[in-house]
Structure 1
């Protein structure tokens, strides 16, 4: 069964990622407002009625800003670790469900597995989302590529992969020394070169799509990151998840039935072109 993925926003101003099949979907993080989430879903032809749950990676505001309103309006359960939930503000009563690393959660035909990552948050986790034989990774806010990340990335058909900063731009930029040290200190963010090395060393041959995510506004450049990865992309489609607008919707299908989608909202259904 094909899986549809999209970035609704990606960056320090807000993060929200959509992963779903033809029947159900989940959001990973809710860092933009409920209203903006709805607008972007609508423009993409994606239905909020298919969204069954929100999974929270960690408690930083750019990942939970819209969580309370979105969860309450659509009665969506929020899956979050117990330690993180204490820092997420008011999650509507009865909708907070604690998750644990490597304990899969079933949402219809989707299976979501959280695993720990290096980041300066209370109990930060990344996610692997599986539908049938299709595996999607959401890997952002990572200080270093640990063994958990390497193992899961090497199994993905598609991934949202952090490429937060260019080392030279960070060095020459306006950030104070303590912040630069935090970003590259092992519990901050992945640089372009760290993400690229992971991509080169551990990308499976069947990986069809990578969306470069959480790019810094001040310390990176989308064209620079895209050019860097494109030189090593092979058959993998590489794109940049914007910090300002939603991405297109990508169809991930290991059978090769469809690769890129042209989305039109016609009676709420997908219409796509084979490529």
Structure 2
């Protein structure tokens, strides 16, 4: 039985894209990179743009949606997004647009997709839990606070790609203007290291195989601080916690089938 595996083309304020694969089904969650850059990043993972079966959009901010329309026009792949995201007009023309409900599961090939509404400063932002009926990967970035629905949806995931965006002290002492600091640190902004740590404490279970630090700010955080927060919960060394690099992304990680 072929297991789910996942990777990242990059994560951060300059572009995001998560890749999830089951058998011959491959999806991207977001794409903040241009066509040439996306092709190059996919090539590092042994894939071409034409190998992707669709791109799922989380929200309309440029680091997530900036490349979506362009790669869709270049490849003809379907684009899945919420009605609110579509109505922002930031996708541009796409050859195959599929509007989805933020509360209704759907399938793409061998993958089951569960959209999860999240609190973020966008029109209808969602994140995704992706599974195959046996194991699940939870992708959770770009949210400023945790709701009971989020806790429910991400419970019992075998892998978590979890936002560790900022260290509050670094954010307050950093270069951002006051308005942006309030936005990033607010209930509709981004998760701090401490918030991610607290959520992981709730979500941790004995079948959790992978936890990956994601969307780490290059001005308001360090990779070491982000990893330390998750390592405290996992009871492991900092070097044992993977983090997604903005430029290098994250190489393939596989899930062991549940028994």
Q: TM-score range by the shorter chain?
A: over 0.9
5+ long unaligned stretches in structure 1: 257-275
Please name the residue that 1:89 is paired with.
91
C-alpha deviation, 1:235, in angstroms: 7.3
2:30 and 2:94 map into 1 onto residues whose CA distance is 16
C-alpha deviation, 1:209, in angstroms: 0.6
Contact 2:23 2:110 in 1 (8 A): no
Please name the residue that 2:242 is paired with.
239
The alignment yields a C-alpha RMSD, in angstroms, of: 1.7
5+ long unaligned stretches in structure 2: none
SS of 2:119 mapped into structure 1:
coil
2:45 and 2:236 map into 1 onto residues whose CA distance is 25
Please name the residue that 2:103 is paired with.
102
Flag the 1:83–1:255 CA change in 2: closer, same or farther, 3 A: closer
How far does the alpha carbon of each residue in 1:154-185 deviate from its partner, in whole angstroms, 9 at most, with x for none? 12110111110001111211211111111111
TM-score normalized with structure 1 length:
0.88
Give the number of aligned pairs.
255
Flag the 1:201–1:255 CA change in 2: closer, same or farther, 3 A: closer
Match runs of 1:183-202 below 5 Å: 183-202=184-203
How far does the alpha carbon of each residue in 1:226-259 deviate from its partner, in whole angstroms, 9 at most, with x for none? 1222232147962111112221110112349xxx
2:165 and 2:234 map into 1 onto residues whose CA distance is 18
Please name the residue that 2:210 is paired with.
209
TM-score normalized with structure 2 length:
0.93
SS of 1:68 mapped into structure 2:
helix
Contact 1:109 1:132 in 2 (8 A): no
Please name the residue that 1:154 is paired with.
155
